[in-house]
Amino acid sequence: MMMPLFYKGELVCWLSSTIHEGENGSCEPGGLPASAESKYDEGLKMSPFKVVENCQLKRDLVTFLQNSVRDPKLQLEDMKVKLHAVMRLRDRVVAILDQFGEALLVGTLRKHLEDVEAENAAPYSRDARRHDQGDAIHGSSLRENVMQKISLAITVKAIE
């Protein structure tokens, strides 16, 4: 669920709320159906669309989504949770804007983005080449209860 945040008539930022979907219409509950054998077994596939207007779920789209899944009540509850989480986030960000102003909020968000970008680039720019390897042990294949050893290796070249 995403929502633009307007403050004093100007778009300041976008807010979002994400949860693990308990029901998405796949061949079994949850978001990773182990028994899926094709993309058609994986549940709803659609572009984003506007499901809320004036802080209310649009009934026609809610009905469409509920008719597309196995558990309509869970689908509705997930949508309500995301909507109310993003509305709560909006209230808190507006309180920050009222107390500290738009410049501080936007500057803080920009600083966070720059810090994340720098942190992610730093390990790769220091070394011309890096190679790591190891093993991962899984206790299930999602289809059967078996122990699996998977050998992993990655080579990273310097960013140029």
Per-residue pLDDT of the chain (160 residues; tens, 9 = 90+): 999 999 999 999 999 998 877 788 888 877 677 778 888 888 888 888 899 999 999 999 999 999 988 889 988 999 999 999 999 999 999 999 999 999 999 999 999 999 998 887 766 555 556 778 888 888 776 667 788 888 988 887 766 6
Residues 137 and 104 placed together within one structural domain of the fold: no
d(CA 2, CA 125): 34
Q: How far apart are CA 24 and CA 65, in angstroms?
A: 9
Range of the domain at 149: 129-157
Same domain for 133 and 120? no
pTM above 0.85, yes or no: no
Number of domains in the chain: 2
How many angstroms separate the CA atoms of 128 and 126, rounded?
7
**112 and 64, same domain (yes or no):** yes
Q: How far apart are CA 14 and CA 111, in angstroms?
A: 16
Q: What is the pLDDT of residue 40?
A: 85
Tell me: do 120 and 133 sit in the same domain. no
16 and 85 share one domain: yes
